[in-house]
């Protein structure tokens, strides 16, 4: 991961920021800016057009192109709690049921990030993970789709501390996603080559 992380992440960013319709997938309380590299939870609903791929109630957003290779990306987050994960395209978009929440069902995997701990979530599995001593608000995600692994890391300077790895036989492309439940929370895609968001 250390050796290839910059090249892999550059590829991911190209995919993520390439879309004009990326905005159509997110909940109406989320605002995308900085060239779709950052998303923030707003106080009020925004005046977005309805779209069949938009999440109706959950404050989360997905990339519109699925990944099936070996990909790495990093995010920096602010707020009380955010969620970083991946989902199949068919994840539910309507309502507040767990079938729509990233990490709460058999169609998605996620890491919930708090100041002093993390939660790895998939379907009914919920694993609490203490924050490493060199805690930070930056998380790295490494997807090895062919091998069936999804790994999360705490990133501090040049150090990656492993948090959790999911093992699964993936059957469809996976779409990176983020959830911000609390107002003012934000997620930024990091420029790993520069080392800053």
Token pair belonging to 66: 């699925």
- Report yes or no: 178 and 111 within 8 Å, Cβ to Cβ: no
Q: What is the pLDDT of residue 38?
A: 81
| Beta-carbon contacts of residue 149 (< 8 Å; ≥ 6 apart) | 142, 143, 165, 166, 167, 168
**Integer Cα distance of 147 and 69 in angstroms:** 9
Better-scored residue on pLDDT, 142 or 95: 142
Token pair belonging to 136: 């930070």
Q: Would you give the end-to-end CA distance of the chain in angstroms?
A: 19
Better-scored residue on pLDDT, 50 or 168: 168
- Per-residue pLDDT of 8-43, as tens digits, reads 444 544 344 433 334 445 556 777 777 777 888 876
Report CA-CA distances (Å) from 7 to 55, 90, 145, 174: 31, 29, 17, 19
pTM of the predicted model, to two decimals? 0.82
Domain boundaries, given as residue ranges, for the chain: 5-189
- Report yes or no: 29 and 59 within 8 Å, Cβ to Cβ: yes
| CATH class of the domain comprising 5-189 | mainly beta
CB neighbour burial string for 143-182, b if at least 16 within 10 angstroms, e if fewer: bbbeeeebbbbbbeeeebbebbebeeebeeebbbbbbbbe
CB atoms within 10 A of CB 191: 15
Tell me the mean pLDDT in the region 66-85: 90
């Amino acid at each position: 991961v250390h050796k290839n992380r910059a090249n892999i992440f550059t590829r991911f960013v190209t995919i993520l920021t390439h879309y004009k319709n990326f905005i159509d997938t997110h909940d109406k309380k989320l605002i995308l800016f900085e060239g779709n590299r950052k998303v923030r939870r707003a106080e009020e609903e925004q005046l977005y057009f309805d779209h069949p791929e938009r999440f109706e109630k959950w404050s989360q957003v997905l990339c519109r192109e699925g990944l099936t290779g070996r990909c790495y990306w990093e995010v920096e987050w602010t707020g009380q709690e955010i969620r970083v994960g991946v989902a199949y395209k068919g994840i539910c978009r309507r309502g507040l049921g767990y079938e729509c929440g990233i990490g709460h069902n058999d169609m998605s995997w996620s890491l919930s990030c708090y100041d002093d701990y993390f939660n790895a979530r998939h379907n009914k599995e919920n694993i609490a993970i203490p924050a490493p001593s060199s805690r930070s608000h930056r998380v790295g995600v490494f997807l090895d789709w062919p091998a069936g692994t999804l790994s999360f890391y705490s990133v501090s300077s040049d150090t990656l501390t492993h948090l959790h790895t999911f093992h699964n036989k993936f059957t469809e492309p996976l779409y990176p996603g983020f959830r911000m439940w609390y107002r003012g929370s934000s997620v930024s895609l990091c420029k790993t080559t520069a080392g800053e968001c």
